[in-house]
Structure 1
């Protein structure tokens, strides 16, 4: 049975707002949380970038929902926290001053990092000398209460949870919702590998004219049409996703949560 969660956007909201959104999401009936882990927002109109570890710590006290990053590069923690890892984007990773590898190399690095993390999560002492990473006598003395490594290996990778996310802009005025979505998240509709290669928010902003309101209207669910919101979420379930996270673009968070609590979530198949 599909699970529906709420996506906390650290690019667009300050910590206090994110905590309140999480509380309201739990009250509305969402079952889990995704949270972005980025050093920068994608553009200055979004305007935020809180330290995600501190936010997660507060979330663990504020709500009972499981929390997963979307995504983190090669860090870990345990308990109710779910680790989502990825190959990164230049916007958030180039700040350390090193070269930015091509996609093929970054994927190799991700695969190697995951192999090391799996060994660390077992609690064993790990030494690793690979093409991209070197680890000497590393051991996690405090490991998660639950480890997915053994079941994953025994199953040969089958049965992995597949998570996906989508952004919507709820509002009673669809045209205004489209304008809000374009202003804050035009970067989602930029072509090619720009999201992985551009190094700063100002570079994204230079490409804003490429994204029109019509493109947003055609690709982002905006407004208060219940059927449109349901169709977007059902599309994930039909494609085989186990968890689907949805986030509201813009300031009308209360309206969004009331809308989903009363009109959208009750019509979705929930376990």
Structure 2
């Protein structure tokens, strides 16, 4: 049975709201949760970007059952991999074993803020591979020294390590990232229901490992209101990864999506309150082979109505997939 998750979307809600909504999602019966790790929102209309790791610490104390996961953190620009390792180990201890570390090669939207430029996709993947090597070395215990092509680590050690280390997930969008995920990851992360990505992951060592997808949805009893909100806050998602990884800020996404219509968005994001429409949007992920699918309810102030509806109607229907 496919597991259904809840997304703490940091771009559309403040930190206290994110934690409170997660508590409600846990009580409603969602199987797991993920959180985005952004410095900027995609669009100014989303209006938020709190620090995901502080939210995770609060979430670990406010909940008791639901697994937590970064979806995803970039361990190469804003954060040094040695610092990411420390944060992940601490989160695993705080959550008593409920944390998974999802990693990716990042987006200019978030990583440009430290002024280091924005490398090519190939270089970003090289950096991600080296970062994972450093994180795993620190997870192994002892003192780590590393002089690499992209990172140096001098006399580093994690003093608080959990008995059960956080599993590492790797986000994929093409052949090279699938190879990296299969070889170095404990699970794979993708935002499109493409079976070929999972097949490539399997070819490089991913067989039997969890595979986690994500899908934006926009619940509202008023379907027109749902479509308008999805267009206002989530039309950036239609740009595709090659575009979304390169634009440096909300103004760039405003310009890039100026000709996207509400109808365009509604063809990609299920809108309204018809359960069958939502189930059919999730189905391609299940059929592609995803074992876990995290839903993103569009609209920071629309989480509780969605969670209530999901508990009563949507989750029971999705359990049949």
With normalisation by structure 2, the TM-score equals: 0.79
Displacement of 1:95 after TM fit? 0.8
Counterpart of 1:135?
A: 153
Could you tell me how far 1:156 is from its partner in structure 2?
5.0
The correspondence of residues 215-234 of structure 1 with structure 2, limited to 5 A, is 215-234=264-283
Contact 1:190 1:210 in 2 (8 A): no
Q: Which residue of 2 aligns with 1:69?
A: 70
Which residue number in structure 2 is paired with residue 30 of structure 1? 30
Equivalenced residue count is: 269
Higher mean alpha-carbon deviation, 4-13 vs 137-146, is at: 137-146
Of 116, 125, 130, the match for 1:107? 125
Shift of 1:234: 2.6
Which range moved further: 90-99 or 251-260?
251-260
What is residue 81 of structure 2 aligned with on the other side? none
Deviation at 1:157, TM superposition (A): 4.6
* Mapped contact 1:66–1:81 kept (Cα < 8 A): yes
Structure 1 gaps of 5+ residues are: none
Query: Structure 1-normalised TM-score?
Result: 0.93
1:81 equivalent to 2:96? Answer: no
SS in 2 for 1:209: coil
The root-mean-square deviation of aligned C-alpha atoms, in Å, is 2.1
Q: Is the 8 A contact 1:190 1:211 kept in 2?
A: no
Give the aligned partner of residue 198 of structure 2. none
Shift of 1:90: 0.5
Residue 177 of structure 1: which of 211, 220, 226 is its match? 226
CA gap 1:203/1:16 in 2 versus in 1, 3 angstroms: same
Secondary structure of the corresponding residue to residue 44 of structure 1: coil
Q: In the alignment, is the contact (CA less than 8 A) between 2:275 and 2:317 conserved in 1?
A: no
1:233 shift after superposition: 2.1
Corresponding residue of 2:253: 204
CA displacement, residues 45-84 of structure 1 (integer Å, 9 cap, x when unaligned): 0000111121111101111211101111221313222111
Q: Deviations over 1:161-191 (max 9, x none)?
A: 2111111000112122111001011111125
Equivalent-residue separation in structure 2 for 1:151 and 1:97 (angstroms): 29
- Highest relative contact order (Cα 8 Å, sep 6+), 1 or 2? 1
- Structure 2: where are the runs of 5+ without partners? 76-83, 93-97, 169-183, 187-203
